[in-house]
């Protein structure tokens, strides 16, 4: 059985004779049962976190209870949320003093932890988290520290530097986290860590996380932690060598198209696709159904009877694809599953192991595919390190591959029909039509085949094919695709910067920074352009966010008048509005027409300070020659005219 069967061909369901092995989901801890506050729970729900990972389930209650803690777990097990959520819940937001300190071995990890805490704090009013690390201008960090930061996340060397300068005040710090302590030991930061812990006043709470606990780390724990809770997460490898693991680099907006092409190209008995959220699972199942696949969603909110019904239909061959969340797939044991697709990369490496373990059952081989965006490569490396296996790149499916596959499948269908016999009546009809003319036998057979195949195209246009009709033309290249302009109710007066705009959209919506822009920041409003395919996702994820306590109010910008359109990012047609920089004999240059606001105008230079920001642009703006002073007419030869 393949996965190219169209939904309308589904037959009447016949229950299989055997009993499905679907494990009843046990009563497991939820984020609500861990004692987290309502704003944090709401944020976790929006992020698609259905259930806590093992380290979160054991760590969060202990930290909320004020216990010191030693957590032995590798990167990628969800430990950032394990300490970030308790920190955020226990902050006194009425005070601007630094109340929590997180030590990280590298600037990359410091930035990652800081971004994660910003994300978790979306529903908390006025939380400030500041990353400080070497290699960045220290004076900017000093200014931020003077204004106040509830949480400081930094590398040991730069934190000591701020302490020596008197710009970091530890008087109000009540919680210290040592993240990846063994890595700080390897990098020679052990003395700085000791000094930081000795300077933080008591009483305080200390949490130490490390993949291993070597002797120097154990001594630090013994000296600075009081009766700590010990949490150890077992390391899991993959015990199924017959699972082929591979990955594809895709942008978020390309995933659906790539998935459908992959499903058409590969033979599969049953496919299990993973998404982070129940809404995402339902949405993807619906879109796949609209493309002719027989797919159903399965998530944690479903009743056990509904869940069993989906699995029964999958086992009985009535559906080919199940789109599930991690919670819903726990205990799932269906031998028919030959392919697992990680449409969304999991939040932790443990989840990845559980996901791909749904295939390769009972000695059968399986294929596990991982879709990753550019920002998720680090997580993939952590998965490889955790599982001890290499995830190999796979060839991106092309439209030509899909066309060839459709033709091959159709040929095979015709061969089977020819081998079945009992075609005498149809042979007679085809022969009569050919004899009556003006069509030959091949044309008649081709028409009959097309009629029998239905409206679904056998092949898709390829590069060598004639140009398609305007309504069906091939998608434009990424650098030519349509963009949509969004507006934010924030501007220069609110202190918003291009980096804030790019960072927010890239982090929340998973878009590469190179695809965001141009950005134009005015006094009270900011405009940003993004690829049109991301519009709904970005509006849904950032529409209700806040910046420094003020609502962003992100929405599609109203079309501007022609005179308001900036001259950047668009070239005029040949022969129109082309500026000739050569002076015209006997005629002075005309100054640019008057225009309200800071936008650009077609014939004049941009207003000062309003040039849009383009991510990745490094060349400095060109500075034109100033206009001549008033009262001195300008002539082409550079001499004042005689009056």
CATH code: domain of residue 541? 3.30.70.330
Structure tokens at 9: 């061909």
- CA 496 to chain CA centroid, nearest Å: 23
Assigned token pair, 572:
């005029």
Computed on alpha carbons and rounded to an integer, the radius of gyration of the chain in Å comes to 31
As a whole number of angstroms, the distance between CA 283 and CA 290 comes to 11
pLDDT digits (tens, 9 = 90+) for 467-518: 333 333 334 443 456 888 988 888 888 888 887 787 778 777 777 676 787 8
- Between CA 34 and CA 441 the distance in angstroms is 73
Task: Kindly state the average pLDDT of the residues 310-314.
Answer: 86
Residue 172 above 60 pLDDT? yes
Q: Is residue 33 pLDDT above 50, yes or no?
A: yes
pLDDT higher at 445 or 150: 150
Strand ranges for 141-269 from DSSP E? 151-154, 175-178, 205-210, 229-232, 243-249
CA angle, residues 6, 11, 15, in degrees to nearest 5: 125
**Residue 167 and residue 151 share a domain:** yes
Identify whether 634 is part of a domain: no
Residue bearing the bigger pLDDT, 456 or 216: 216
Measured CA to CA, the distance from residue 42 to residue 31 in angstroms comes to: 10
Task: Answer yes or no: do 441 and 409 share one domain.
Answer: yes
> Looking at the predicted structure, is the pLDDT value of residue 213 above 50?
yes
Mean pLDDT of the chain: 76
Domain boundary among 347, 369, 397: 397
d(CA 613, CA 522): 12
DSSP 202: S
- Which range marks the domain in which residue 441 is found? 400-463
Question: Residue 453 domain-assigned?
Answer: yes
Does one domain contain both 514 and 390?
Answer: no
Least confident of 178-187, 393-402, 573-582: 573-582
**Cβ atoms of 339 and 272 closer than 8 Å:** yes
In a domain, 630, yes or no: no
- In sequence order, the 6+-apart residues with CB closer than 8 A to the CB of 265 are 397, 401, 402, 405
Same domain flag for 75 and 142? yes
Mean pLDDT, residues 531-539 taken together = 85
Tokens (6 digits) for 19: 């009993």
**Cα-to-chain-centroid distance, residue 378:** 13
Measure the CA–CA gap between 104 and 112, rounded to whole angstroms. Answer: 10
Instruction: Give the pLDDT of residue 560.
Output: 57
- Whether residues 197 and 298 fall in one domain: no
Instruction: Please report whether residue 311 resides in a domain.
Output: yes
**For residue 5, what pLDDT is reported?**
42
Give the pLDDT band of residue 165 (cuts 50, 70, 90): very high
Can you tell me the mean pLDDT for 115-128?
92
Q: Tokens at residue 24, please?
A: 């009843």
Neighbours of 616 (CB within 10 A): 9
Q: Above 80 in pLDDT, residue 295?
A: yes
405 and 390 in a common domain:
no
Number of domains in the chain: 4
Helix (H) or strand (E) holding 426: helix 424-436
Among 37-46, 57-66, 454-463, 527-536, the minimum mean pLDDT is found in 454-463
462 or 431: whose pLDDT is higher?
431
Residue 431, C-beta contacts closer than 8 angstroms, at least 6 positions apart: 441
Torsion of CA 306, 312, 317, 318, to 10 degrees: -30
| Range with lowest mean pLDDT among 12-21, 359-368, 549-558 | 12-21
**pLDDT score recorded for residue 363:** 65
pLDDT recorded at residue 26: 44
**pLDDT confidence tier of residue 301, bands split at 50, 70 and 90:** confident
Contacts of 403 (CB under 8 A, 6+ apart): 458, 459, 460, 461, 462
pLDDT at 465 exceeding the cut of 50: no
Cα within 13 Å of Cα(509), Cβ side: 27
Res 376 pLDDT > 80: yes
In this structure, the answer to whether residues 244 and 385 fall within a common structural domain is yes
What was the pLDDT predicted at 405?
Answer: 67
Reply yes or no on whether the pLDDT at 557 is more than 80: yes
**Is the pLDDT reported for residue 427 higher than 70?**
yes
Report whether 330 contacts 354 (CB < 8 A): yes
Place of tokens 């000695």: 363
Between 633 and 369, the higher pLDDT residue: 369
% of the chain beyond a pLDDT of 90: 27
* 89 or 8, higher pLDDT: 89
Please tell me whether residues 212 and 65 are part of one structural domain. yes
pTM, entire model: 0.48
Among 132-146, 217-231, 549-563, which is the least confidently predicted range? 549-563
Summarised one tens digit per residue, pLDDT across range 605-617 is 444 444 444 444 4
pLDDT band at 620 (very low <50, low <70, confident <90, very high): very low
Q: Residue 37's pLDDT is what?
A: 94
- Find the DSSP H helices in 48-173: 54-64, 79-89, 107-120, 138-147, 156-165
Q: Are residues 301 and 426 in the same domain?
A: no
Q: CATH code at 40?
A: 3.40.50.300
The percent of the chain in helix, strand and coil, each rounded to the nearest 5, is 40, 15, 45
What percent of the chain has pLDDT above 70? 73
Residue 143 CA to residue 175 CA, distance in Å, equals 23
Residue 568's pLDDT is what?
41
End-of-domain residue from the set 208, 232, 256:
232
Nearest CA to 213 among 379, 109, 74, 59?
A: 74
Q: What is the per-residue pLDDT for 457?
A: 54
580 found inside a domain = no
Q: Which of 566, 557, 561, 558 is nearest to 487 (CA)?
A: 557
Which residues lie across from 527 on neighbouring strands? 487, 520
For residue 22, pLDDT over 50 is answered with: no
Mark whether 167 and 38 lie in a shared domain: yes
The answer to whether residue 163 is domain-embedded is: yes
What is the rounded distance in angstroms from the CA atom of residue 7 to the CA atom of residue 289?
A: 7
The better pLDDT of the pair 31, 541 is held by 31
pLDDT at 238: 54
d(CA 183, CA 189) in angstroms, rounded, equals 9
Max avg pLDDT among 182-191, 324-333, 337-346: 337-346
Based on the fold, state whether residues 102 and 65 are members of the same structural domain: yes
User: Averaging pLDDT over each range in 218-232, 466-480, 588-602, which range is the top one?
Assistant: 218-232
For the ranges 213-217, 276-280, 556-560, 576-580, the lowest mean pLDDT is seen at 576-580
Q: Where are the beta strands (DSSP E) in 490-577?
A: 519-521, 526-531, 546-547, 550-551, 555-556
Domain assignment present for residue 169? The answer is yes
Task: Retrieve residue 468's tokens.
Answer: 């398609």
Report pLDDT for 605.
42
> Quick check: 345 and 275 in contact, CB under 8 A?
no
| Token pair recorded at residue 538 | 């970005």
Integer Cα distance of 443 and 438 in angstroms: 10
Residue pair 294/266 in contact by the 8 Å Cβ criterion: no
pLDDT at 593 over 70: no
From CA 482, how far away is CA 476, in angstroms rounded? 8
Q: Flag the least confident range among 92-101, 119-128, 325-334, 557-566.
A: 557-566
CB 261 within 8 A of CB 402: yes
Given 525, 541, 564, which residue is the final one in a domain? 564
Tell me which of 624 and 249 has the higher pLDDT.
Answer: 249
| Same domain, residue pair 338 and 420 | no
Encoding tokens for residue 121? 């704090």
With a cut of 70, say whether residue 86 has pLDDT above it: yes
312 lies in some domain: yes
CB neighbours of 91 closer than 8 A, spacing ≥ 6? 99, 100, 124, 127, 150, 151
């Amino acid at each position: 059985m393949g996965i190219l069967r169209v939904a309308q061909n589904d037959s009447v369901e016949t229950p299989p004779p055997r009993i499905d092995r679907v494990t009843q989901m046990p009563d497991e801890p939820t984020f609500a049962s861990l004692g987290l506050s309502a704003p944090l729970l709401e944020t976790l729900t929006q992020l698609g976190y259905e259930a806590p990972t093992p380290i979160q389930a054991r760590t969060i209650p202990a930290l909320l209870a004020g216990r010191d803690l030693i957590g032995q777990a590798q990167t990628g097990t969800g430990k950032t949320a394990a300490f970030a959520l308790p920190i955020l819940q226990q902050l006194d937001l009425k005070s601007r003093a630094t109340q929590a300190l997180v030590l990280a071995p590298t600037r990359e990890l410091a930035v990652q932890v800081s971004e994660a805490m910003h994300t978790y704090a979306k529903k908390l009013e006025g939380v400030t988290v500041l990353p400080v690390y070497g290699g960045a201008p220290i004076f900017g960090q000093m200014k931020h520290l003077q204004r106040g930061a509830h949480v400081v996340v930094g590398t040991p060397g730069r934190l000591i530097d701020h302490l020596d300068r008197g710009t970091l005040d530890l008087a109000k710090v009540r919680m210290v986290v040592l993240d990846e302590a063994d890595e700080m030991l390897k990098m020679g930061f052990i003395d700085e860590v000791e000094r930081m812990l000795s300077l933080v006043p008591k009483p305080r709470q200390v949490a130490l996380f490390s993949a291993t606990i070597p002797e120097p780390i154990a001594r630090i724990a013994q000296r600075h932690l009081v009766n700590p809770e010990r949490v150890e997460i077992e390391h899991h490898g993959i015990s199924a060598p017959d699972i082929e693991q591979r990955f594809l680099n895709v942008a978020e907006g390309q995933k659906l198209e790539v998935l459908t092409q992959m499903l058409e190209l590969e033979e599969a008995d049953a496919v299990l696709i993973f998404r982070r959220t129940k809404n995402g699972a339902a949405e993807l199942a619906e879109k796949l159904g609209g493309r002719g696949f027989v797919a159903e969603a399965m998530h944690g909110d479903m009743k056990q009877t509904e869940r069993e019904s989906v699995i029964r239909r999958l086992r009985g061959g009535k559906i080919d694809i199940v789109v599930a969340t991690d919670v819903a797939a726990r205990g799932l044991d269906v031998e028919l599953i030959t392919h697992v697709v990680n449409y969304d990369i999991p939040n932790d490496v443990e989840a990845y192991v559980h996901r791909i373990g749904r295939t390769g059952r009972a000695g059968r081989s399986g294929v596990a595919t991982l879709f990753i965006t550019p920002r998720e490569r680090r997580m993939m490396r952590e998965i490889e390190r955790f599982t001890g296996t290499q995830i190999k790149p796979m060839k991106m499916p092309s439209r030509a591959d899909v066309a060839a596959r459709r033709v091959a499948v159709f040929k095979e269908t015709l061969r089977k029909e020819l081998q079945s016999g009992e075609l005498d009546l149809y042979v007679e009809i085809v022969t009569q039509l050919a004899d009556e003319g003006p069509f030959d036998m091949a044309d008649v057979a081709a028409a009959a085949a097309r009629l029998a195949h239905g409206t679904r195209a056998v092949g898709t246009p390829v590069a060598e094919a004639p140009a398609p009709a305007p309504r069906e033309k091939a998608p434009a290249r990424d650098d030519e695709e349509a963009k949509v302009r969004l507006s934010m109710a924030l501007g220069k007066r609110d202190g918003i910067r291009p980096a804030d705009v790019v960072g927010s959209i890239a982090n929340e919506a998973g878009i590469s920074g190179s695809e965001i822009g141009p950005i134009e920041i005015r006094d009270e409003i900011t405009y940003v352009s993004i690829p049109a395919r991301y519009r709904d996702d970005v509006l849904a994820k950032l529409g209700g966010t806040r910046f420094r306590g003020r609502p962003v109010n992100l929405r599609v910008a109203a079309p501007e008048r022609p005179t308001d359109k900036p001259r950047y990012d668009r070239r005029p047609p040949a022969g129109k509005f082309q500026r000739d920089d050569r002076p015209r004999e006997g005629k002075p240059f005309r100054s640019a027409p008057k225009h309200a606001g800071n936008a650009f105008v077609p014939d004049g230079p941009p207003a000062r300070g309003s040039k849009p920001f383009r991510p990745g642009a490094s060349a400095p703006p060109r500075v034109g020659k100033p206009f001549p002073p008033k009262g001195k007419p300008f002539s082409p030869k550079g001499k004042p005219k005689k009056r």
